[in-house]
Homo-oligomer: A and B are copies of this chain.
């Protein structure tokens, strides 16, 4: 069971190490939280929850794999609000009806936490309340920084910032395995799949990245950062 606990070092509680966590009673809170969670698996393109579905009865945490949070317009235009990787939380919504769907990008394992029980827990454990708040704030920061990308950046800048974001997420590795297809990238960046391809090809031609269908290698991070603006 404890293997499902988010590692204390990942919790961003001001430089917390295991002893700190234990001393401040946060470990109790986290154990209580894990007790109300259940583990489940989804395979590629399976829906975890669906836009329009009543109530956010649950929220989730990614254990392994990648989840995309999508939004569909009636005429079929799609947008991806967020990619969630391991240890990211998702599915906490304030509205009565889900305004997004969550889908597995590849094979995915998640923990599911019932909302009502979590609320009750948050009343008793400030650490749980804080965890929820930090989760929401983290998503908020991510969403807001993407607003300027979608609103004001060129196709090249969008793709570059996407690559740098991914690289940073995976410990600044030069080699990035792309779990998602070109179509997902386009829908994430507000571009068509063709434009994403063209930008990749262009960056390859300029020698700053190496491109394979499901992986990218950053050859010249300095040049990339210069192209990424901001």
Contact = CB atoms under 8 A, between A and B. Distances in A.
Interface of A: 71, 73-75, 77-79, 81-82, 92-95, 99-100, 122-123, 126, 129-130, 132-134, 136-141, 143-148, 150-152, 187, 189-190, 229-230
A132 B140 CA distance: 13
Nearest to A190: B151
Contacts of A189: 151
A57 to B, nearest CB: 15
A94 B229 contact: no
Contacts of A100: 144
Instruction: Provide the main secondary structure of the chain A interface.
Output: helix
B74 A137 contact: no
A190 B150 contact: yes
Contacts of A73: 148, 152, 229-230
Nearest to A70: B148
Contacts of A132: 133
B147 A79 contact: yes
A95 B141 contact: yes
Contact of A138 (B94, B143, B147): B94
Given A136-B136, A189-B151, A190-B150, A99 B130 contact: no
Contact of A147 (B95, B130, B147, B229): B147
A176 B126 CA distance: 42
Contacts of A150: 147, 150-151, 190
Contacts of A95: 141
